[in-house]
């Protein structure tokens, strides 16, 4: 099937097949939206969890003794 002929093929479908395809398309859109919202929520939640000693280590600096002791003794 050519990509340029997709609209023509859709118009040639029976009403029942169109309804089935439209339902499949809506379900996939909803699942994709839920997936994207979940990823965005995890990214936002992860940005608030960062502690000061993690920022220092991520920036390439040394962790202070207090931060290092926190890592060893949760």
Q: What is the pLDDT of residues 14-48, one digit of tens each?
A: 999 999 999 999 999 999 999 999 999 998 888 77
pLDDT of residue 47: 76
> pLDDT-derived band of residue 5, with 50, 70 and 90 as boundaries?
confident
Q: Is the pLDDT of residue 71 over 90?
A: no
Q: Is the pLDDT of residue 61 over 60?
A: no
> pLDDT-derived band of residue 6, with 50, 70 and 90 as boundaries?
confident
Q: Are 59 and 67 in contact (CB under 8 A)?
A: no
62 in the Ramachandran plot: left (φ > 0), alpha (ψ -120 to 50) or beta?
beta
The answer to whether the Cα torsion of 55, 58, 61, 65 is positive or negative is: positive
């Amino acid at each position: 099937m050519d990509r340029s002929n997709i609209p023509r093929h859709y118009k040639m479908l029976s009403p029942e097949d169109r309804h089935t395809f439209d339902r499949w398309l809506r379900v996939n859109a909803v699942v994709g939206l839920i997936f994207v919202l979940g990823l965005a929520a995890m990214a936002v939640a992860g940005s608030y969890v960062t502690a000061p000693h993690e920022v220092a280590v991520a920036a390439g600096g040394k962790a202070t003794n207090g931060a290092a002791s926190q890592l060893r003794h949760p």
